[in-house]
Amino acid sequence: MRKIEKADLRKISYQEFGDILDGLTKKVKESGIKFDLVVPILRSGGFTGLHIASQFGSTNILPVQYKYHYG
């Protein structure tokens, strides 16, 4: 697994984020996958997970939080 460096990151607009999210949703719909539950990882995954749940008409949503501790 390659470590992500600061040079790998770039800012994107809300429009670009929406376009990427729509593309992801389209690919998932085309795959034919059906969901019983959508589990967004809170912080940056919350918006994405809720969008996908909405697009698939899912009301079964279980938001989770990932925590880690140093030392």
The predicted structure's pLDDT at residue 70? 80
pLDDT in tens, 40-71: 998 778 888 888 889 888 889 999 998 877 87
Per DSSP, 4 falls in state P
What is this structure's pTM? 0.66
Average pLDDT of every residue of the chain = 89
What pLDDT, on a 0 to 100 scale, did the predictor assign at position 64? 93
Nearest to 20 by CA among 57, 60, 59, 47: 47
Following DSSP, what letter does each residue of 11-26 receive, concatenated?
A: ---HHHHHHHHHHHHH
